[in-house]
Amino acid sequence: MVIAAELTRRAVSKLRPRDREGLPVAPGWLPGVGHTAAMMVDLPWVCAEGDQRSPLFWLQMGPKSWVIASVREEAFAVFRNRETSSAHLARDAEVLVGRSVLGVDGEAHRRMRGAINAPFTPKGLGAHKAGALMAEVIVPRVSRWKSRDEIAICDETREFAVDVIFRMMGIEPHALAEWRQAFERYSLALLPVQWDFAGSPYRRGSTAKRWIDERLTAIADRERGRDPEASLVSAMVNGRDDEGRGLDARELLDNLRVLVFAGHETTASTMAWAMLYLAKDRERWDRLVDEALAADGPPTTPEALAKFAFAEGVFREALRLHPPVAFDSRQTEQPWSLFDRTFDKGQIVGLSLHAMSRNAERYPDPDAFVPERWLSRERRPGPIETAQFGGGPHFCLGYHVAWLEAVLFLVAVAREFGAQRRRPRIVGDAMPRPIYMPLQRPPGSARLRFER
């Protein structure tokens, strides 16, 4: 067995292209899938090995797409989107991205962000009472954990996160389960094989998309002409940029659907990691409980976050250690240079947000969970420190949503169990190994117990 494995490894390593157009190819390459499988299992290793050979190295993502990648902070410049774009996202994930902010650039992107930014700012979130909706979803469910032996933490946080977005979109509590199922079916349309016949995953996904779109259109029609501050959807339907331009009907639907995809697994993963680290760290858990119990309740407005500096530190540290978007990319639209190399138009350039978040020069003891590193700072985190949310014009639209939701969640858990002198413990004790792709998250098997 061992000999067969070694022979296979040698055969594969002979197959592996070592160089391509003068740059090294990272190890972990397999015929057919390129680096995708290795990156899913151990993205940090693939990138660190690539970086050891050169600050720019090749990765093959899937059967066709070759990406020039870097883990260095200089590569962050790719997010500026002057010479680069997100056109590859719109092309490769058309069903998901469509005409949403994620996949358009330049003037169209400025118009859309200008029209829909307001409800995602701290002021906008306060105006449409997003925090109250979050609390309505999260607090009673956390309270129900008290009667349960074990908590499958990823399933729980995923359900909170998706329901929070649905509630913000005006979906009534009794319909949440039906919407969750519809979105799960819609995800089938995103699979790479898109054969369209009765019963095929693609057909089922497309049918679910029609179901979702009919209902989103009805919600949008209801909100047309209303006060833009009244709700998230009203703000997106009636919002205008500085030149009075808004979104057309298709752009509105594509953006509403994207909110669900962009906003739930990402936030859910961060909340789950934060709980797993707290379960390994009695001192930090106690500190969070002290902060949470000293307040009247969990924060429900962005201003109220000021009282929860330690919980914010836990959120930022969980994100830094495990950025859900571990690897991001852009496409060059004209010749563009990095590390003395000029790429032609059409080249995909990738950067590891994971590696950037563990840069030892910026974060001493980079692999340790140290929420205190975010406290007593003289300024708010800068662009590199929030790189887990991307950068430049496509910087995450939901940054303030995720921050409020994650802190509200952590404070709710700490108040519920801290008051009973119970603390989280990981079932099996070992910190679970991350899954890195398509989004970085703990495995579904990760479980917590709350013990006295």
Residues near ligand HEM, by CB under 6 A: 86, 101-102, 113, 165, 258-259, 262-263, 266-267, 270, 319, 323-325, 328, 388-390, 394, 396-398, 401-402
CB of 296 to ligand HEM, least distance (A): 25
CB-based contacts of 103-112 (< 8 A; 24+ apart in sequence): 105/81, 105/333, 105/393, 109/393, 109/394, 110/241, 110/393, 111/241, 111/243, 111/245, 112/247, 112/251, 112/255
State which residue, 29 or 436, has the beta carbon closest to ligand HEM: 436
Distances (CA, A) of 108 to 77, 231, 244, 411, 422: 21, 24, 13, 39, 51
Please give the DSSP secondary-structure letter assigned to residue 396: -
State which residue, 397 or 414, has the beta carbon closest to ligand HEM: 397
CB of 86 to ligand HEM, least distance (A): 6
Alpha helices (H) in 295-341, listed in sequence order = 309-321
What is the CA 165 to chain-centroid distance, rounded? 14
- Strand positions, DSSP E, 312-406: 327-332, 336-338, 341-343, 348-352
* Dist. CA 33–CA 64, nearest whole Å: 9
CB of 328 to ligand HEM, least distance (A): 5
CB of 153 to ligand HEM, least distance (A): 15
89 neighbors 103 (Cβ within 8 angstroms): yes
State which residue, 46 or 259, has the beta carbon closest to ligand HEM: 259
CB of 452 to ligand HEM, least distance (A): 31
State which residue, 25 or 75, has the beta carbon closest to ligand HEM: 75
State which residue, 208 or 397, has the beta carbon closest to ligand HEM: 397
CB of 263 to ligand HEM, least distance (A): 3
State which residue, 36 or 86, has the beta carbon closest to ligand HEM: 86
State which residue, 29 or 273, has the beta carbon closest to ligand HEM: 273
CB of 185 to ligand HEM, least distance (A): 21
State which residue, 26 or 162, has the beta carbon closest to ligand HEM: 162
With the C-alpha atoms ordered 379, 284, 401, 101, is the resulting torsion angle positive or negative?
positive
CB of 235 to ligand HEM, least distance (A): 12
Residue type, 300: T
Burial environment of residue 309 by CB neighbours within 10 A (0 to 12, 13 to 18, 19 or more): middle
Residue with smallest beta-carbon separation from ligand HEM: 398
CB of 266 to ligand HEM, least distance (A): 3
State which residue, 400 or 423, has the beta carbon closest to ligand HEM: 400
* Dist. CA 91–CA 302, nearest whole Å: 36
Nearest to 150 by CA among 410, 422, 446: 446
Q: Is the peptide bond before 438 cis (omega within 30 degrees of 0)?
A: yes
CB of 200 to ligand HEM, least distance (A): 29
Distances (CA, A) of 211 to 71, 120, 217, 218, 222: 41, 26, 10, 11, 17
* Dist. CA 451–CA 239, nearest whole Å: 48
Strands 84-85 and 327-332: antiparallel
Phi, psi for 59 (deg, rounded to 5): -130, 145
Strands 65-70 and 348-352: parallel
CB of 442 to ligand HEM, least distance (A): 14
